[in-house]
Amino acid sequence: GALVYQYPRRTICKSGTSMRMECQAVGFQATSVAWYRQSPQKTFELIALSTVNSAIKYEQNFTQEKFPISHPNLSFSSMTVLNAYLEDRGLYLCGARTDSGNTLYFGEGSRLIVV
């Protein structure tokens, strides 16, 4: 079955420092990846949509300068949160998708705690 692994599961970083998170698809080809942030209240914010060999599309309020994303092949994507501050706290989820359909398969998430 489709599995998505995210690493690290949890990071505590000092305000103003950066955190890089990775997303690995196993058992399928992740042609597209959606990065979401889930708030403590459980709501989802879409950060960006990434398709291999295409430009990454960022949602309003999220920029490449703040959340650079790499999606070099069909099994791997990474995202960095640069200069993290308190408002960047949350669970960052990677949802991977194959060519067909709208189903996203999520990893366990990378939780960012900023102190």
Q: How far apart are CA 53 and CA 43, in angstroms?
A: 30
By rule CB under 8 A, what string of x and - marks binding of each residue 60-99 to another protein? -------------------------------x-x-x-x--
State the nearest-atom distance from the C-beta of 75 to another protein, in Å. 17
Please pick, from the candidates 37, 78, 84, 107, the single residue that binds another protein as defined by CB under 8 A. 107
Cis peptide before 68 (omega within 30 of 0): no
Q: Which residue number, 11 or 32, has a Cβ lying nearer to another protein?
A: 32
State the nearest-atom distance from the C-beta of 32 to another protein, in Å. 6
Q: What is the phi/psi pair of residue 88, to 5°?
A: -90, 0
Nearest of 102, 77, 79 to residue 90 by alpha carbon: 79
Q: How far apart are CA 26 and CA 90, in angstroms?
A: 25
User: Is residue 103 a contact residue for another protein (CB under 8 A)?
Assistant: yes
DSSP 14: -
Of 21-60, which residues contact another protein (CB under 8 A)?
32, 34, 42-44, 46, 49
